[in-house]
Amino acid sequence: MDKGATTLKKLCELDFDAIEAYEEAMQRLEDKDIADKLAEFRSDHMTHTDTLNKFLKARGEDVVEGPDSKRVLTEGKVVIADLLGDKAILKAMIANEKVTVKAYKEASDNDALSPDEKTEIASFYEDEQRHHDWIKTQSEKL
Ligand SMILES: [Fe+2]
C-alpha cells in the first residue's frame, strides 16, 4: 500500500471513529437541538467514509469497514460514554474535531494524493472546520 492509499485508509478509519463518538454524544446530550445538529454532522462523516472508500477501491485497495482497533480519537466513544452534562460532552467533541481538522489539513497538502482526491479532501477539511466552529460556539453558550 503506497503513501496515498495509507493516507486515505487512515482518514477513513478516523471518520468511522468519529461516527461512533457522534452516536454516543447524540444519545447522551440533553439538548435535542444540539443532538439533531450532530446527526447532520455525522452524515458528513458518512459521506467522507463513502468517498474515501470509493477512492481506495479505485486504487485496487480493500475498503475500510470501521475504526482502527487502536482508535485515534482520545475523546472517542468510550470516553464520552462516561461524561456527564452537555458541556462536558461538547468539550470532548471539540477535542475530536481538532483531531479531524488536523488530519484533513495535513492530507490536503499530501502530494501522494491525486488532484481529484485532494479536491474532495479539501472540502472535507472545510466540513471539519465547520463542525468544530459550530460545536465550540454552542459550548460557549452553555
Ligand atoms: Fe466532524
In the numeric block, which cell numbers belong to residue 60? 485496487
Which residues does 49 contact at the CB level (< 8 Å), separation at least 6? 12, 15, 16, 19, 64
How many angstroms is it from 130 CA to the middle of ligand 1? 8
Average pLDDT, 10 consecutive residues per value, the chain (142 residues): 96 97 97 98 98 98 93 88 95 97 96 97 98 98 94
How many angstroms is it from 2 CA to the middle of ligand 1? 26
Which residues does 74 contact at the CB level (< 8 Å), separation at least 6? 95, 96, 99
How many angstroms is it from 100 CA to the middle of ligand 1? 7
In the numeric block, which cell numbers belong to residue 3? 503513501
pLDDT for the residue 69: 84
How many angstroms is it from 129 CA to the middle of ligand 1? 8
How many angstroms is it from 132 CA to the middle of ligand 1? 7
How many angstroms is it from 52 CA to the middle of ligand 1? 15
pLDDT for the residue 100: 98
Burial of 94 (0-12, 13-18, 19+ CB in 10 A): middle
Please tell me the distance from the alpha carbon of residue 59 to that of residue 48, in angstroms, as a whole number: 17
Full residue range of the structural domain in which residue 25 is found: 3-141
CATH number at 66 reads 1.20.1260.10
pLDDT for the residue 70: 83
Q: Are 135 and 94 in contact (CB under 8 A)?
A: yes
Identity at 114, one-letter amino acid code: S
pLDDT for the residue 71: 82
- Considering the entire predicted model, what is its pTM? 0.96
In the numeric block, which cell numbers belong to residue 20? 461512533
Number of structural domains found in the chain: 1
